[in-house]
């Protein structure tokens, strides 16, 4: 074990209640592209704004077309060593919640109960009616799109159907933000995995954790804005780092 992984192991052993905060970096190890990263999709094409999506049927259809062309890559992705190590920490009771900026459902797929995963940007593995909140599977949306080249309104209420992600210009999900704050205030160890901590307000949580006296750990390939105040910074892959710190459970 390197000095870094030994320090991380000690911090985890000594903590009373840990929180894990994940960003795109944990999922790139599962082959999911970082849409917001320096080479991400959103640097090449302009993301669709939520208000425009609400206003224009044309924009909605353009958005679905894009999704079928670019967004499906994350369907079928599998959790990796990093996700499984986090799941093991939850299983052992060391981590009470996982706050994530990711929309890929990989924490749930790794075996963490969905009530312990707090999604700040929603979930891209299903769609939802914006009015009645009926869940629409992407399989049924895809079938409709294949058949007619369009995605129509909610069959239950006629409302607008959209992937269950939080789009640019869409308000942050209030309940998730509140739960994330409560978990952050209650923890004594806050571990950031694979986030450059540039997307606010989400990135405010590690700063809040530090302020209220928790230890802050950052594992990320690149430097982040909070490296200077963290108790431990590891610039390495998440899977390789955590595999050494958290042996797979039996």
- CB closer to Zn ion, 129 vs 218: 129
Query: Which C-beta is closer to Zn ion: that of 113 or that of 156?
Result: 156
User: Binding marks (x or -) toward Zn ion, 137..156, rule CB under 5 A?
Assistant: -----------------x-x
Specify the residue, 158 or 223, whose C-beta has the smaller distance to Zn ion: 158
Nearer Cβ to Zn ion, position 134 or 236? 134
How far apart are CB 164 and Zn ion at their closest, in Å? 13
Write each residue from 155 to 194 as x if it is in contact with Zn ion (CB under 5 A), else as -, in one continuous string: -xx-x-----------------------------------
Sign, CA torsion 29/35/36/39: positive
How distant is the alpha carbon of residue 57 from its chain centre? 28
Task: Give the DSSP letter string of 123-136.
Answer: EEEEEEETTT--EE
- Give the whole-angstrom CA distance, residue 221 versus residue 234: 8
Size of the site for Zn ion (CB under 5 A): 8
**Helix, strand or coil for residue 95?**
strand
The binder of Zn ion chosen from 81, 87, 129, 187 (CB under 5 A): 129
The window from 19-27, 134-142, 209-217, 220-228 that contacts Zn ion (CB under 5 A) reads: 134-142
**127 binds Zn ion, rule: CB under 5 A:** no
Render the burial of 51-70: b for 16+ CB within 10 Å, e for the rest: ebbeeeeeebeebbeebbee
What angle in degrees, to the nearest 10, is found between the helix axes of 238-245 and 3-14? Answer: 60
The answer for residues whose C-beta is within 8 angstroms of residue 48's C-beta and 6 or more apart is: 59, 62, 63, 66, 167, 168
Q: How far is the CB of 162 from Zn ion (least distance, A)?
A: 11
Contacting Zn ion (CB under 5 A), which of 1, 113, 132, 229? 132
Active site residues: 121
| Residue placing its CB nearer to Zn ion in the complex, 41 or 134 | 134
The CB-of-188 to Zn ion minimum distance in angstroms stands at 42
Give me the DSSP letters along 191-236: EEES--S-STTTTHHHHHHHHTT-EEEEE-SS--TTGGG-SEEE-S
C-beta of 211: minimal distance to Zn ion in Å?
41
Q: Chain centroid to CA 176: how far?
A: 12
Binding site for Zn ion (CB under 5 A): 129, 131-132, 134, 154, 156-157, 159
């Amino acid at each position: 074990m390197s000095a870094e992984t030994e320090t991380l192991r000690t911090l985890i052993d000594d903590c009373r209640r840990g929180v894990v905060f994940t960003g795109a970096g944990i999922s790139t190890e599962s082959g999911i592209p970082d849409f917001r990263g320096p080479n991400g999709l959103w640097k090449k094409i302009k993301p669709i704004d939520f208000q425009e999506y609400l206003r224009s049927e044309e924009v909605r259809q353009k958005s679905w077309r894009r999704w079928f062309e670019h967004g499906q890559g994350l369907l079928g992705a599998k959790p990796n060593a990093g996700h499984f190590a986090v799941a093991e920490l939850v299983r052992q009771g060391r981590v009470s919640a996982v706050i994530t900026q990711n929309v890929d459902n990989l924490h749930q797929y790794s075996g963490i109960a969905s009530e312990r995963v707090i999604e700040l940007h929603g979930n891209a593995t299903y769609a939802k009616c914006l009015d009645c909140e009926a869940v629409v599977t992407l399989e049924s949306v895809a079938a409709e799109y294949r058949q007619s080249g369009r995605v129509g309104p909610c069959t239950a209420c006629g409302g607008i159907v959209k992937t269950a992600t939080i789009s640019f210009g869409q308000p942050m999900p209030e309940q998730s933000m509140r739960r994330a704050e409560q978990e952050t205030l209650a923890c004594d160890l806050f571990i950031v995995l694979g986030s450059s901590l540039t997307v606010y307000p989400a990135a405010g949580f590690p700063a809040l954790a530090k302020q209220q006296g928790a230890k802050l750990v950052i594992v990320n390939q690149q430097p982040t804005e909070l490296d200077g105040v963290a108790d431990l910074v590891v610039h390495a892959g998440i899977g390789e780092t955590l595999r050494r710190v958290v042996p797979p459970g039996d």
